[in-house]
Amino acid sequence: MSIGERICFFRNKRGLTQEQLGRLIGLPDNSADVRITQYESGSRKPKGDVIKALAEVFGISPFALSISDIDDPLVILHTLFAMEDVYGAWVEKNLSAIALNFDPYNNENAARLFKMLCDWREQFEKRINGIITKE
């Protein structure tokens, strides 16, 4: 999913028009909708300050908008190769699934990532048990 597609996804999730979103991030009234259209179509890429403003409006981390193109499995595979190098990641296969593993003792960043993944899993368990919603 490209950054433009992510912007569109979060904008629609918040029930905003392109013009409303443009105004909320401080774009001029006469070009607010055009600029958001350009971002969403990919004809223009938002700069860091715009990404930050969009993230604030959406209530998300700027990283959630600027992730790599995850629609291409080859991009994902090379990202996983890099994660193996940097974080000591490896995959395991059982009868029905592939699991991505991290060695928290590989280095300081691996330990931080491991903690974040544990936190994510904890929230996921709360969601599947009906304690919280995905939103």
Q: Tens-digit pLDDT profile for the chain (135 aa)?
A: 789 999 999 999 999 999 999 999 999 999 999 999 999 999 999 999 999 999 999 999 999 898 777 778 998 899 899 999 999 999 999 889 999 998 899 999 999 999 999 999 999 999 999 999 887
Q: Which residues of 8-31 are buried (b: 16+ CB within 10 A; e: fewer)?
A: bebbeeeebebbbbbbbbebeeee
The CA distance from 53 to 39, in Å, is 13
